[in-house]
Amino acid sequence: MPQHEEHCVHSEKRYGVRGDDIHAWMDEPARVSGASHRNYRHDLRGLPTAIRMFGKKYGAEMVQDIYLDHLRADSDENRKREQESGLKPRLWSRLEDDFLYRKFLELSDGLLAAALQTRSIGEIRRRRKQLGLIRPRIIKRTKAEPRIQRVVLRLQRGQKIFGDIEVTGGNKDIDFGHFTYKGAPVNSLKPRNLERVWGHKSFGYAANFSGNHCFYFSNIFSYITLKFVRFSYRLEKGKWIPVQFTI
């Protein structure tokens, strides 16, 4: 595994500071537990503590960058040793899959790899694909259209997707539609045909286009009452992924 000085030199090259105290704190358990010290302070659970301890000196963002670089360096070295030893790729455990499912919406693939330590970004992406975990792109609403929400999923032709919509508030009704697009600004696009959804709707279809599929939710007909929408989706062999918003 990288030594203390290697971590510090790397941090200095990237950020202009060595971060000696951060790296020393992360590896401090080695005095007691030896090589198994990476079971401590070497996942995302230790990051908030590191920010509290060193944030005033470096700033929270730099502490996070140095901390995550340390994790990646250790993980990369560990994977390199496994490859050189001829070990077969390690199967994903149920706990790893559960963590991936719970955290993939809030963490980037890089942060997921850092948290799981022995998994590369490439492994994370392949596993997400196997599990059908597609990140949605939530289009930011504009002042001109505050009661319209667009949710984009990038699908491959032939993929089967299932959706479930639940509406609460007011008369529990919204307008819903779907369209595909390529290069046009998505905020300028609307479905040709909208349907009124009252309370609940489920749907499923096979994507006939590889690219951006936009799901369109509108409450512009209601001038006063806001609606709360829970939109859940899944691929044919994937888990349900919920997205919630108010329009």
If you average pLDDT over every residue of the chain, what do you get? Answer: 87
- CA distances in angstroms from 189 to 154, 186, 195, 203, listed in the order given: 16, 5, 16, 22
| pLDDT 10s digits, 207-221 | 998 999 999 999 999
- CA distances in angstroms from 46 to 64, 67, 175, 227, listed in the order given: 10, 9, 45, 39
Instruction: Enumerate the domain spans of the chain.
Output: 1-88, 93-132, 137-246
Q: How far apart are CA 223 and CA 136, in angstroms?
A: 28
- Enumerate long-range contacts of 86-93, CB under 8 Å, 24 or more apart: 90/118, 92/127
| pLDDT 10s digits, 161-173 | 999 999 999 999 9
Mean pLDDT of 188-197: 93
Least confident range from 1-15, 73-87, 99-113, 174-188: namely: 73-87
Helix axes 20-27, 60-84, angle to 10 degrees: 50
**CATH hierarchy code of domain 137-246:** 2.60.120.680
pLDDT at position 39 is 52
Please give the model's pTM, rounded to 2 decimal places: 0.67
